[in-house]
Structure 1
Amino acid sequence: MLHGQKIVVVMPAYHAEKTLAECHAAIPLDIVDEVLLVDDASDDATVAVAQRLGIRTHRHAVNRGYGGNQKTCYALALGADADIVVMLHPDYQYEPRLITAMAAMIASGVYDVVFGSRILGNTAIAGGMPRYKYLFNRLLTAFENLLIGSKLSEFHSGYRAFSRKVLETLPLASNSDDFVFDNQMLVQAHAFGARIGEMSCPTKYFADASEINFRRSVVYGLGVLRVAMTYRLWKWRLLKSQLFSAAPADRLTAMKPDAP
């Protein structure tokens, strides 16, 4: 806990058997109250490794996609009475030891959303990010900042922390089940007035780390452009969109985690 607030780490997992143990070992369990893993119908030993490590695990019977996995992660975290939720990929690309700092930025009451930026600190290329992905990141981020009116260093990091209020308020149920979920969530946080903070986060690209291919990257990029344009039209009141709905039906419903 930090400042009396329960901290839950959620791990959206798919084929993470080779990296999960090392990633989990780096989590600061002195302040993290619970770790929840959602396996997206992996056909490897991810679930077995998680159970051996004592991680509370939920398994999808069928693959629901990266966004669908996160929806379950956040619903379970809400059901576990989390006050602060940190989403950490189990492929060990992001540095788990930064969880303490990220959670503290929310526990202090200064921010509602915090993400680890690969761009701040200029570590992305040094960490092995493919140059075409770095270029796409910079171009897409510049476009989104222009349309959305923000000044974030990037919109595409998968390392994030949220207050409970944010997860209960955003219309996450209306988001995609694919990779663009991450982008939709951050734009929604901006649209709903959440206070967004960033911190520099080194990342590692290696053989066992999860990575989408060039074709999926292009699909993701087109989705990002669509989200930004949808936001701008919604902001101008020229378009109604469920992505920015305040209706309770578009929010996640808390789920009780499976028994350990």
Structure 2
Amino acid sequence: MAGPRHVLVTGAASGIGAGICELFASAEGARITAVDVRADTLADLAGRLRADHGADVGEIVADLAGADAAAELLDRAWRDRGPVDVVVNAAGIYPATPFLEMTAAQWDRVQNVNVRAPMLVTAAFGRACAAAGRTGSVVNIASGAALRARPGAAHYCTSKAALEMLTKAAAVELGPLGVRVNAVSPGFVTVDSAANPVTEEYADAVSANPLGRRGLPLDIARAVRWLAGQEAEWVTGTVVRVDGGASAGTTALPLHWKGTSEVQTA
């Protein structure tokens, strides 16, 4: 009987990434390799998973804006902790930068963390799986921002749109190797994130949806685990929108007009 799966999660220290780590650890006893740039917060997560779930957790502190760090991450985890079964690219940054104030450095850092790093990690995973004759699953964390722009987020929105296409492109090329690549696109999720803080005013404005509540990390983690599991073995190249229906439409608008006009009733 196969042992527990080895799940590598980037952006693992808090928020959605932490929720994904916790669900894999608690629901199936998965071995977790947790990756984040924040060493103290990452250590707190690992300690909590060990204490609450007896989890086997490894920690890698890395800034994925650096090409070398991203390119070497998968190989390091595979070498030090054994073959990886699931990769979750959850690391992402969301600065607030008005378009007319955007610098090349600000733009590049967002693209490097949010798009280039997942590409490099996924490519390394595909090579490792092919060399070992193993199958695997990648789940990228996208965003509703891929479909709808927001003030101060041109770099972020662009990166998430690119990540969705990267998901499809990787699925096409890695599918014949037995590696599935999918994405989960969250709506607004309530997290306490020092990396990507938002105001309550912003949260209120962006979180309206037909189901009437904000998302939780567990909502996203459940979708990730399903996509990475056997029940989704014929699913690849897709984006699952877990957003309370926000991408279907908004409940934040009134009826456009009360009643009907003469032309409409004629």
Indicate whether the TM-score tops 0.5: no
- Structure with a larger share of its residues in helix: 2
Range into which the TM-score falls when normalised by the shorter chain: 0.3 to 0.5
* Larger Rg over CA atoms: 2
TM-score by length of 1: 0.37
TM-score by length of 2: 0.36
